[in-house]
């Protein structure tokens, strides 16, 4: 069994979700943005419309909660440790980390644009 993996993921995933959705004021900034597609607005976005952001963010949040719940169930002895369970918990963590890294890099780029 890999108790350190499950313990770490059960602690890290909720913190990552907080960083993604609330701490960065992501939802407040998103609400203020227009994010219309370019076919409707020449200054609009190419892909990340509000609807796509909504679905992707909801998917990442759901995946993060599912990974946390799975790790807790293994730690509680209600779910057996298996390779597929380890892969699922790691995939949830990696998806959340990749999303956080992407958003961080975009925020850095936006904050450091020339005036």
pLDDT (tens digit per residue) in 16-41: 988 887 766 777 887 888 777 777 87
What is the pLDDT, as a whole number, of residue 94?
97
What is the pLDDT, as a whole number, of residue 51?
86
Q: How far is CA 57 from CA 1, 11, 41, 51, 73, in A?
A: 31, 20, 23, 10, 24
pTM: 0.84
Contact 48, 73 (CB under 8 A): no
Q: Is 77 left (phi over 0), alpha (psi -120 to 50) or beta?
A: left
Q: Taking 80 as the threshold, does the pLDDT of residue 87 lie above it?
A: yes
Q: How many domains are contained in the chain?
A: 1
What is the pLDDT, as a whole number, of residue 84?
97
């Amino acid at each position: 069994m890999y108790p350190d993996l499950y313990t770490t993921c059960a602690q890290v995933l909720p913190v990552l979700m907080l960083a993604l959705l609330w701490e960065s004021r992501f939802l407040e900034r998103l609400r203020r943005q227009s994010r219309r597609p370019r076919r409707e607005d020449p200054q609009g976005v190419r892909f990340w419309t509000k609807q796509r952001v909504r679905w992707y963010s909801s998917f990442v949040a759901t995946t993060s909660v599912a990974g946390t719940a799975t790790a807790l169930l293994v730690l509680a002895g209600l779910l057996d440790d298996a390779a597929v369970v380890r892969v699922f918990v790691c995939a949830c963590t990696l998806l959340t980390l990749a999303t956080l890294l992407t958003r961080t890099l975009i925020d850095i780029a936006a904050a450091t644009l020339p005036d």
